[in-house]
Amino acid sequence: MRLFVAIDVSTEVRTVLLEHQRRISSVASSGNFSHRDNLHLTLAFLGELPPSDLPRITGIVDSLDIPPFPLVIDTLGRFARSGSDIWWAGVYRNPVLLTLQSLLDSRFQEAGFTLDNRPFAAHITLARQVRMPDAHAVRELLDPIKPIRMTVGRISVMESTRIEGKLTYIELHGHDLGR
C-alpha cells in the first residue's frame, strides 16, 4: 500500500483551485493535471508499506490533539525541474499547520517509519510535467492570487492506488481535529 497523511479540501476550495489549474493549462504547452478528487495537502508521505502497518499509522494520527484551524491558500508557484515543472497552490504557513506537520513527522520517525528528508513545503499540487512556452508565460501565472480560505477539521490517512488506470486517492482513516 502506498500511504500518506493529508488534509483534504472542500468542494468549494476544489472549484477555485480548478480555476487556477485551468489558467495554467491554457498557457502550458503540455502537462499532467491533477484530477479534482485528488487535490490535497500532504502532511507526511509514508510510501509503500504493508497493510499490517495501518493500525500503527492510524494510532499515531488519532493521538494528535490539535484543534481545528484556518488555512489560507494564497499563491501559485512551481518547482522548476529540468524539462518540466510541478505547479502548485501555496499555503500560508501558520503555526498550527507547522505544529501538526512537525508532530506527525516526529511521531512517525519515533515509531520507526522512514519519511522524506525534504523540508516541509505546504502546497497543493495542481499539475506535474508542465512545459511552458516561454518565461513570459510563467511570469503571468505567478501573480498573486485572491486568498482561498478554509477550516481544517480533519486529517486523513490516504492510499494512493490506480483504479482502471486512473490515479485515485482513497481515505482509509480520518481523524477529526479537536477530539
d(CA 73, CA 176): 21
| pLDDT attached to residue 165 | 87
Q: What is the pLDDT of residues 36-64, one digit of tens each?
A: 999 999 999 999 999 999 999 999 999 99
Domain CATH number, residue 93 = 3.90.1140.10
| pLDDT attached to residue 108 | 97
Nearest by Cα to 32 from 105, 96, 85, 98: 85
| pLDDT attached to residue 111 | 96
Q: Which residues are catalytic?
A: 40, 123
| pLDDT attached to residue 178 | 86
Nearest by Cα to 66 from 94, 45, 38, 47: 94
| pLDDT attached to residue 139 | 79
Residues of the chain where predicted confidence (pLDDT) is lower than 70? 143
- pTM reported for the whole predicted model: 0.92
Could you tell me the residue range of the domain that residue 94 belongs to?
2-176
| pLDDT attached to residue 134 | 80
Tally of domains within the chain: 1
